Amino acid sequence: MGHKSWYSVVAGVALLIIIPGRNALFAHLQETTAGNPEARKVLNDGVEAYKRGRTDEAIEDFKKAKDLDPSLTNAQLFLAVAYSSQYVPGAPSPENIRYGEQALEQFKEILENHPSNLSAIDGAGAILYNMASTPYNLEKMEESKAYEKRHIEIRPDDPEPYYWIGVIDWSIVYRANKDLREEWMKQTSRDLQPADALPEEIRREFGSKYGDTVQEGIDSLKKAMTHRPDYDDAKAYLNLLYRQKADMESAPILREDDLKTADDLVDQVKAHKEKELEQREQPQ
C-alpha cells in the first residue's frame, strides 16, 4: 500500500484562526474593579455590548474607557480584541485592513508598558498570522513567530506557542514548495503532481533555503506534544512537516522513511479520534 496522498493530507488539515472568539478572552477578564470608577463603568458597558454582538458600540466604549483611564489595561485589551474580531482574513477592503492594523497597534501599545502581558503577546501573534495568511506575507509570518517565541520565554511549559511555531513554519515551507513546483512547471512545460518528489535541481534549493525552518517546526511540534501528549493538531502538522522534509531528502530511502513517519502520525490521529468517538457513544 502506497503512502497517503500528500495533497489530500494537506487538504484535510484545516488551519485554525487564533483570534479569540467573541467571548473567549472576555470570559477571563469580565468586569474590572480597578482604576477610575467612570472608566470601569464605561468598560463594563462595552463588555456587555460586545457580548450582545454590538461590536461598533463596544469599540467606542472601550476607546472612551481607555481615554478616561490610560492605565486601564483591560480597556486596551478589549479594544484590541474587538478590532481583531472585525478583521476578516483575506478581505481586501481598506476598512478591513485597518481593523487588523488597529488591533496590532493596540496590542503593541500594551506591550510597550507591560512587556510580559501574555494576552497582548498572543493577540499580536494571532492577528499577524491572520494578516499574513491571505494574501501571503512572509515578513508578517516571521513577526508572528517572534511573538510565539516571546511567549515561550515567559512561560516555557505552555504547549500552544510551540504548536503555532510549527504551524507557521509549515505555512512558510508549504508556500515555498508550491511556488518552486509551479515555477519549474512553467519553465519546463512538464507536469509535477503535488505528491511527486521534487526534481533534483529544485530539491537542493528547497533544502538549502528551508531545511532549518522545517527542522525548527518539527522540533517545536514535538515539544508541544511533550507538554500535551494527545495533541492531535500538533501531530497533524508534524505529519505535514515530515512530508516537506521528504521533499528535501537526496536518498529515496530517506524520503520513504519521512513519508512513513508522516503516515504513522496520520494513523495515530485517526485512531485517537475513533477512540474518543467510541467513548462518547458509550452509555453513561
In a domain, 38, yes or no: no
Q: Which tens digit of pLDDT belongs to each residue from 224-258?
A: 999 999 999 999 999 999 999 999 999 999 999 99
pLDDT reading at 20 higher than 50: no
Question: Residue 7: what pLDDT?
Answer: 34
In a domain, 129, yes or no: yes
- What DSSP state is assigned to residue 36? -
| Section 55-67 average pLDDT | 94
Query: If you average pLDDT over every residue of the chain, what do you get?
Result: 88
In a domain, 78, yes or no: no
In a domain, 32, yes or no: no
Question: Residue 34: what pLDDT?
Answer: 54
Pick from 116, 32, 111: which is nearest to 127 by CA? Answer: 111
Pick from 131, 86, 127, 88: which is nearest to 108 by CA? Answer: 127
Q: Which is more confidently placed, 24 or 78?
A: 78
The three grid cell numbers given for residue 190, joined into one nine-digit string: 512538464
In a domain, 57, yes or no: no
Question: Residue 26: what pLDDT?
Answer: 42
Q: Which CATH number belongs to the domain containing residue 200 in this structure? A: 1.25.40.10
Domain residues for 155? 6-19+87-272
Q: Which is more confidently placed, 199 or 33?
A: 199
Question: Residue 8: what pLDDT?
Answer: 34
Q: Can you give the pTM of this predicted structure?
A: 0.86
pLDDT reading at 12 higher than 90: no
| Section 82-88 average pLDDT | 94
In a domain, 157, yes or no: yes
Q: Which tens digit of pLDDT belongs to each residue from 139-186?
A: 999 999 999 999 999 999 999 999 999 999 999 999 999 999 999 999
pLDDT reading at 71 higher than 60: yes
Share of the chain above pLDDT 70, in %: 87
Question: Residue 35: what pLDDT?
Answer: 62
Question: Residue 5: what pLDDT?
Answer: 38
At residue 36 the predicted structure's pLDDT band, cuts being 50, 70 and 90, is confident
Cβ atoms < 10 Å from Cβ of 121: 25
Burial class (CB in 10 A: 0-12, 13-18, 19+), 142: middle
Q: How many domains does the chain have?
A: 1
Question: Residue 9: what pLDDT?
Answer: 34
In a domain, 70, yes or no: no
| Section 27-43 average pLDDT | 68
Interatomic CA distance for residues 119 and 217, integer angstroms:
23
In a domain, 264, yes or no: yes
Q: Measuring CA to CA, how many Å separate 251 from each of 15, 22, 174, 197, 201?
A: 31, 49, 21, 11, 14
